[in-house]
Amino acid sequence: MDIKEIIKEENIVYKKTSVLTDKVMHYCPGCTHGVVHKLVAEVIEEMGLQEKTIGVSPVGCSVFLYDYIDIDWQEAAHGRAPALATGIKRLMPDKVVFTYQGDGDLAAIGTAETIHACNRDENIVVIFINNGIYGMTGGQMAPTTLPGMKASTCPFGREPGQDGHPLKITEIVAQLPGTTFVTRQACHTPAAVRKTKKVLKKAFENQINKRGTSFVEVVATCNSGWKMSPVKANEWMEENMFPFYPLGDIKDI
Amino acid sequence: MAKAKGAIVVDIEKCKGCSVCVSACPAQVINLAAEVNDKGYHYAYMENPDNCIGCANCGVVCPDTCITVYRAKPVTA
Ligand SMILES: Cc1ncc(C[n+]2csc(CCOP(=O)(O)OP(=O)(O)O)c2C)c(N)n1
Ligand code: SF4
Ligand code: SF4
């Protein structure tokens, strides 16, 4: 069939959701943040939640998230997104409230807020992007940095005896009675992206059904920080991140 | 004779040439162009348009949502 015959409005099977703004994202080429932003926007569109959703954006590379998804937003101080989301959801229980946070934000400076929100059964969705480093500030070691993984503040690789052990915060929050759904996904292949979208939808549905905290980790690449091409970073993530941060549901009640 | 069932349109100026769509395509349709866009990135284009099956894998993985995917409806006689 001629291409001109195929490229017609009625044949569209995939296009940008209108919940994403037209703003060009500031991320480096290949950054996982862009993929997850898009999935969140698609889920909001498909569930008809655009007028009802309030996002809480973090400090980190995704600090400008409020420019990219066309919903209401509040910008949190570094690590405080779950506390802010708690306040918003308690004051406006009819809204759908989620946080979107990096590993530095959620698992370092914001550890207390993360754990206590999850332990209080807060009826919110927490989206956790784990790229193993502080992307925005220059690729410093994060609590999630793997043993032996190089970062700008551990140029010879993280040494657990000296630098501490990587923190599996997702496994920690899964143990708390306040969480209903805790899962770890990735976006390195089309199948993985489709799966991540499915769990995000489930997390939002849980909130609508007043089921407590849903926590979605996405193991992500920061190819600039890791100093690799985007495609190589995906391969490196599969080989190195997934054995330590295995994908799948950790808790689903 | 062209046997394409699908086709993509890339928003060339938005594309950052990250190449993840190239790896995600099961039919080796996409490659990065020799030319660059206004930002200086080698943008994605259909190098082998005849192979496209319209599976949307490329669109799904693109971090910058640059790709619109089309799939022809099966012809019913
Ligand atoms: C109170 C405070 N402390 C430190 C910083 C500096 N800072 C900005 S972003 C960031 C870490 C971001 O890393 P992460 O949360 O992993 O997100 P990424 O950039 O990797 O997506 C830090 C430490 C800050 N902005 N505010
Ligand atoms: S995935 Fe998107 S940004 Fe990356 S090369 Fe393909 S079209 Fe361009
Ligand atoms: S729609 Fe499928 S076959 Fe066509 S270019 Fe995209 S990934 Fe390749």
Domain range holding B36?
5-72
- CATH code where residue A190 lies: 3.40.50.970
Residue A53's pLDDT is 98
Q: B64 and A25: CB-CB below 8 Å?
A: yes
Domain range holding A152?
3-252
Q: Which residues of B touch A234 (CB under 8 A)?
A: 20, 23
Residue B76's pLDDT is 63
Chain B: closest CA distance from residue A225 (Å): 15
**Contacting residues for A7 by C-beta, under 8 A, at least 6 apart:** B7, B9, B70
Which of B17, B54, B60 is nearest residue A29 as measured by Cβ atoms?
A: B17
Residue B20, SS3 per DSSP:
helix
Q: What is the DSSP letter of B5?
A: S
- CATH code where residue B19 lies: 3.30.70.20
Ligand 1 proximal residues by C-beta, below 6 Å: A 59-62, 78, 102-105, 109, 129, 131, 134-137, 142, 222
A:B CB pairs within 8 Å: 102
Consecutive H or E run containing B10: strand B6-10
| CB-CB contact of B61 with A193 (8 Å) | yes
pLDDT (tens place) for every residue of chain A, 253 residues total: 789 999 999 999 999 999 999 999 999 999 999 999 999 999 999 999 999 999 999 999 999 999 999 999 999 999 999 999 999 999 999 999 999 999 999 999 999 999 999 999 999 999 999 999 999 999 999 999 999 999 999 999 999 999 999 999 999 999 999 999 999 999 999 999 999 999 999 999 999 999 999 999 999 999 999 999 999 999 999 999 999 999 999 999 9
Chain B: closest CA distance from residue A120 (Å): 34
B7 at the A interface (CB within 8 A)?
yes
Q: Is residue B22 part of a domain?
A: yes
What is the residue-averaged pLDDT of chain A? 97
Distance (Å, whole) CA A133 – CA A186: 16
A8 at the B interface (CB within 8 A)?
yes
Domain count, chain A: 1
A109 at the B interface (CB within 8 A)?
no
Q: A27 and B63: CB-CB below 8 Å?
A: yes
Distance (Å, whole) CA A95 – CA A128: 20
Which of A1, A14, A25 is nearest residue B59 as measured by Cβ atoms?
A: A14
Question: How many other β-carbons are positioned within 10 Å of the β-carbon of residue A203?
Answer: 24
**Contacting residues for A87 by C-beta, under 8 A, at least 6 apart:** none
Q: Is residue B77 part of a domain?
A: no
Q: Is residue B29 part of a domain?
A: yes
Chain centroid to CA A39:
10
Write the single-letter amino acid at A37: H
Write b or e for each residue in A88-127: b if 16 or more Cβ atoms lie within 10 A of its Cβ, otherwise e: bbeeeeebbbbbbbbbbbbbbbbeebbbebbebbbbbbbb
B61 at the A interface (CB within 8 A)?
yes
SS (H, E, C) chain A: CCHHHHCCHHHEEECCCCCECCCCCCCCCCCHHHHHHHHHHHHHHHCCCCCCEEEEECCCHHHHHHHCECCEEEECCCCCHHHHHHHHHHHCCCCEEEEEEEHHHHHHHCHHHHHHHHHCCCCCEEEEEECCEECCCCCEECCCCCECCCECCECCCECHHHHCCCCCHHHHHHCCCCEEEEEEEECCCHHHHHHHHHHHHHHHHHHHCCCCEEEEEEECCCHHHHCCCHHHHHHHHHHHHHHHCCCEEEEEC
A25 at the B interface (CB within 8 A)?
yes
Q: Which residues of A touch B63 (CB under 8 A)?
A: 25, 27, 29-35, 38
Q: Backbone phi, then psi, for A205, in 5-degree steps?
A: -65, -40
Q: Is residue B43 part of a domain?
A: yes
Domain count, chain B: 1
Q: Is residue B47 part of a domain?
A: yes
